[in-house]
Amino acid sequence: MCQSCIDQSRRKFLTLSAAGAAAGALALSALPAPARAAGLLPTSLDPDAALAKLKEGNANFMKSPELCANALDKRRSDLVEGQAPWATILSCADSRVPPELVFGGLNLGELFICRNAGNIADTDVLGTIEYGAAVLGSPLVVVLGHSNCGAIKAACDVAKTGAVLPGFIAPMIDSILPAARAEMGKEGDFVANTIRESAKMTAEKVVRLSGIVRQLVEEKKVKVVYAVYDLESGKVDFID
């Protein structure tokens, strides 16, 4: 997306948000500019169809990872002027969890992705998710934790021992601490339980803090779910 498209869609987004705040409802009927510019419509998938497509892709990834390749050159030129991704993924920055691959070798323009250590929903991520849902028409948000997550392990250490972490890592980990504290002393593996609980809390936080997402969820235009990817098996476990 070129800078003018970003500016244009950003202005449209801000207009939508301001109108929604003033009227108590979002005016989402207009097509988002970035998709229209490319002759694209926002995805026709509803939230459940998007979820089914991710599950199918993950099953393909587990079964035949060698088949997960794409004609990138053609797809790249088709998408220069716009995008219409059909799912938004908030995942860990961990190099072992690239969403396009674990969901079956998806192509350019399919997933709208936010990544940081520990799949945390900070202000930047919340704004990005809102942009994906309200402007690009992405009908599904997945908070994707993963097994053996270093950020979650660090939060568990801090919760258990009071360890002080250096630099910006300490405040980053802060938002995982409520999940770690909630799981401390419970039956089962502390880190695994915290990975799941943190993804759950983050999904709830997105809906609680974002009026834009909450309204789209209430209108059944968007679904927010959470899941945990297993590094060993390759399976994404969607938790209902």
- Strands in 87-92's sheet, in edge-to-edge order, are 111-116, 87-92, 140-146, 223-229, 236-239
Size of the site for Zn ion (CB under 5 A): 4
Give the whole-angstrom CA distance, residue 4 versus residue 10. Answer: 10
Q: Taking CB under 5 A as the rule, does residue 149 contact Zn ion? A: yes
- Using CB under 5 A as the binding rule, the residues of this chain from 28 to 47 that contact Zn ion are none
Q: Which is nearer to Zn ion, 107 or 116 (CB)?
A: 116
Residue 46: count of CB within 10 angstroms of its CB: 16
Q: Which is nearer to Zn ion, 45 or 165 (CB)?
A: 165
CB 157 → Zn ion: shortest distance, Å?
14
183 touches Zn ion (CB under 5 A): no
Q: What is the nearest approach in angstroms of Zn ion to the Cβ of residue 147? A: 9
Binding mask 60-99 for Zn ion (x = CB under 5 A): --------------------------------x-x-----
SS3 1: coil
Give whole-number Cα distances, 49 to 12, 53, 184, 221, 222, in Å.
Answer: 27, 6, 36, 12, 11
What's the burial of 234, exposed, middle or buried (CB within 10 Å: 0-12/13-18/19+)?
middle
Closest approach, Cβ 213 to Zn ion, in A, equals: 23
Q: Which is nearer to Zn ion, 141 or 228 (CB)?
A: 228
Q: Can residue 173 be called a binding residue for Zn ion (CB under 5 A)?
A: no
> Looking at beta carbons only, is 152 or 225 nearer to Zn ion?
152
Q: How far is the CB of 178 from Zn ion (least distance, A)?
A: 17
CB nearer Zn ion, residue 4 or residue 233: 233
What gap in Å lies between CA 87 and CA 9, rounded to an integer? 18
> 91-117 b/e with 16+ CB inside 10 Å = b?
bbebeebebbebbbbbbbbbbbbbbbb
Q: Which residues of the chain form contacts with Zn ion (CB under 5 A)?
A: 92, 94, 149, 151
